[in-house]
Amino acid sequence: MLKKRIYQCLGAASLALAVGACKTPELVVKNESRNVPASYSTATATSATSLDSANTASVQWKQFFTDPNLQALIGTALQNNQELNITLQEIEIAKNEIRARQGEYLPFVRLGARADAEKVGRYTLQGATEENIDIKEGRRTPDPLTNFQVGAFATWEVDIWHKLRNARKAAAIRYLATVEGKNFMVTNLIAEIANSYYELLAYDNQLAIVQQNIGIQTNALELVKFQKESARATELAVKRFEAQVQHTRALQFKLQQSIVETENRLNYLAGRYPQPVARNAQSFNDRLPATIQAGSPAQLLANRPDIRQAEQQLTAAKIDVQVARANFYPSLGITGGVGLAAFTPGLLVSSPQSLLYALGADLAGPLFNRNGIKAFYYNANALQTQAVYRYEKTVLNAYVEVSNQVASISNLAQSYDAKAKEVAALNQSVEISNSLFRYARADYTEVLFTQRDALESKFDLIETRMQQLNASVNVYRALGGGWK
């Protein structure tokens, strides 16, 4: 009767445990949207952009950047850049996390030996019992009591609900996310080096223009000094021309400092100490932006490493919710051991008397006061919702970047044509103003203003060319090119 009652109690407890464990809190789950516009609405089809199924993101960086000096810089950076190498170690850390998670759902087996001694009081139950026990073969228990053990012991949590396997799966997906993060860093690194390289070429050309203008302005200064001696000009004109020369010389030193800083930035990105950067600045104005094929916005989901990274992180967050849900269910643990034990080392080999073995199992699950598990579950769902918003934000940002840069290529091309015509007109104006001033048919202020406007227009022309080249690089980066 008693045995039947025990079975009934155990059955009722197991049923209550199972029912209680199956009740998981309700969650409000947000699903991500993968819908993107059919095209880049702000893009204008020009000779520099093509919006069809072809996509420049599939072009390797060595084919996109044809300048051998730029190729050498990028190649050095991909080997030596410290930030990139730090990211590679993060990938190794994520890989080791997979290994650790995989080991959790396999049995833990330990081999070991143990020795201890214990002196119990004679008037205790254990002491009185040992006092009257004679060991076979005339041996008595030693005092103090010693114990020697050697054997193998194992513990194993049976992964009934795939909690441990899902944790390993989430770790594996996060490893893939770190790989995509590395790819995104490679894309950004290549784009940053290319943009800085074109900026350096622009500074070189601006410096050459400034040095040329210093010569022109110095000649004009000598001319106005001669005219002053001939009473055809005043000291005011001399000082104005002299100030203009000094202003241009100050601009020269400013450009030289910009060149040093840009070279150092390129060397830093390449992972090396400052040194001259090999380049050919003479052909800068003849460089044309690479032809860009933007493809369709839907291709961003496959080409952009940051979108792929956000997608992997979202998938891992969804699996984390499953792992958190499994904490509500009962867990099954199995323990066991086998070995030898005796109170003296010599008796360890006395088998089977010294043989010990154990096998046990426990089934336990949360029944009351599950607030901690609920909090962990709710947090996992909140993190999943965050990952959804982060994914959608990344997709939206990618679309806006491509749309802006594609439109920029078209507008900068038209701007460059207008600037080139402006420079040509102002160059002629400089020659005309100098000629008129030489024969006293133009005021010196007209010459100064014309020279200043011509210098600024040449600077603007070079700046626009640099912006064109940068826009081409930025579209390539925005499309997800460079990492393949």
Which residues in 84-106 are b (16+ Cβ under 10 Å) and which e? beebeeebeebeebbeebeeebe
For 100-147, the pLDDT digits (tens) are: 888 887 888 888 888 888 777 766 766 666 665 554 445 555 667 778
Which residues in 433-464 are b (16+ Cβ under 10 Å) and which e? bbeebeeeebebeebbebbbebbebbbebbeb
Does any domain span residue 239?
yes
* Calpha distance 168→95 (Å, rounded): 11
Cα torsion 270, 274, 279, 281: sign: positive
Does any domain span residue 369?
no
Does any domain span residue 289?
yes
Q: Could you tell me if 353 and 170 are in contact, meaning their C-beta atoms sit under 8 angstroms apart?
A: no
Does any domain span residue 359?
no
Q: CA angle, corner 42, sides to 41 and 47, nearest 5?
A: 105
Does any domain span residue 295?
yes
* Calpha distance 11→139 (Å, rounded): 47
Based on C-alpha coordinates, what's the Rg of the chain?
A: 39
Structural domain total, the chain: 1
pLDDT recorded at residue 442: 65
User: 197 CB contacts (<8 Å, ≥6 apart)?
Assistant: 67, 69, 70, 73, 266, 277, 279
Q: Which domain holds residue 173?
A: 42-108+164-306+399-478
Q: 429 pLDDT band (50/70/90 cuts)?
A: confident
Q: Average the pLDDT over 217-235 and give the result.
A: 80
Dihedral angle over CA of 393, 394, 395, 401, nearest 10 = 110
pLDDT recorded at residue 50: 44
| Strand, coil or helix: 21 | helix
Ordered DSSP codes for 388-453? HHHHHHHHHHHHHHHHHHHHHHHHHHHHHHHHHHHHHHHHHHHHHHHHHHHTT-S-HHHHHHHHHH
Tokens of 313: 């992180």
For 312-369, the pLDDT digits (tens) are: 999 999 999 999 998 888 888 888 888 888 877 777 777 777 888 888 888 887 877 6
Bridge partners, 334 (sequence order): 156, 361
Read off the CATH number of the domain in which 474 is found.
Answer: 1.20.1600.10
Instruction: Find where tokens 């410290």 sit.
Output: 82
Query: Quick check: pTM over 0.85?
Result: no
For 83-99, the pLDDT digits (tens) are: 999 999 999 999 898 88
Q: What is the mean pLDDT of the chain?
A: 83
In this predicted structure, which of 22-26, 77-81, 82-86, 302-306 has the lowest mean pLDDT?
A: 22-26
* Calpha distance 304→396 (Å, rounded): 12
User: 185 CB contacts (<8 Å, ≥6 apart)?
Assistant: 83, 84, 87
Q: Average the pLDDT over 388-405 and give the result.
A: 93
Does any domain span residue 158?
no
3-state SS of the chain: helix, strand, coil percent to 5?
Answer: 65, 10, 25
For 267-311, the pLDDT digits (tens) are: 999 999 999 999 998 888 888 888 888 888 988 988 999 999 999
The answer to whether residue 47 scores a pLDDT higher than 50 is no
Does any domain span residue 336?
no
Closest C-alpha among 203, 207, 178 to residue 266: 203
Does any domain span residue 221?
yes
Tokens of 391: 């994914």
